[in-house]
Amino acid sequence: MIKEVIVVEGRDDTVAIKRAVEADTIETGGSAINARILQRIALAQERRGVIVLTDPDHAGERIRKIISNKVPGCKHAFIPEVDATRKGDIGVENASPEAIRKALSRVHTSYEGAESQVDMEDLMAAGLLVHEDASRRRMIMGNLLGIGYCNGKQFHKRLAIFQITREEFAQALAHLEQGGKV
């Protein structure tokens, strides 16, 4: 049994989580997350801790940001888009139990206000910004580091928020440069 409560978007996500692990969930009801749901998440965070596991799409990122802003200290798990897509539909409900367990094994805790050990120049040198293949490279790096896909500015922010070390970054970059995939 996972101690923390896992926050997902909907009922199908809960079903997928329960196929993978024994855990309790809170469903946001999609991107229309309201004050009552945020209160439940805050109480769960206070009593047991929370892991946010939303879809790897724009709506999922929006929900993740809302929760992070209203309920500090939540943990975050990310499923790569490729592992959460079936027949063109992206969502946690499409992920295999193995992909869900892998995401939950790589949980990161958010530390707002933290400074990144990796600076923007490092991202430029790694081809993650202002590079013809930057988007694809960020997707692979985000998956390798377990912080999900995002734009360059958000990627730098996530490195700080999730306290990714220079060593972790260098190892993931070496894996990427060797043609490695997630």
Average pLDDT over residues 141-167: 92
182 pLDDT more than 80: no
Q: Provide the CATH topology of domain 1-110.
A: Dna Topoisomerase Vi A Subunit; Chain: A, domain 2 (3.40.1360)
Tell me whether residue 160 is exposed, middle or buried, using C-beta atoms within 10 angstroms of its C-beta: 0 to 12, 13 to 18, 19 or more: middle
What would the two tokens of residue 25 be? 């969930």
Confidence class for position 87, pLDDT limits 50, 70, 90 = very high
In the chain, where the domains are located = 1-110, 114-182
CB 162 within 8 A of CB 108: yes
User: In this model, does residue 53 exceed pLDDT 70?
Assistant: yes
Q: How far apart are CA 181 and CA 172, in angstroms?
A: 10
Q: Is the pTM of this model over 0.95?
A: no
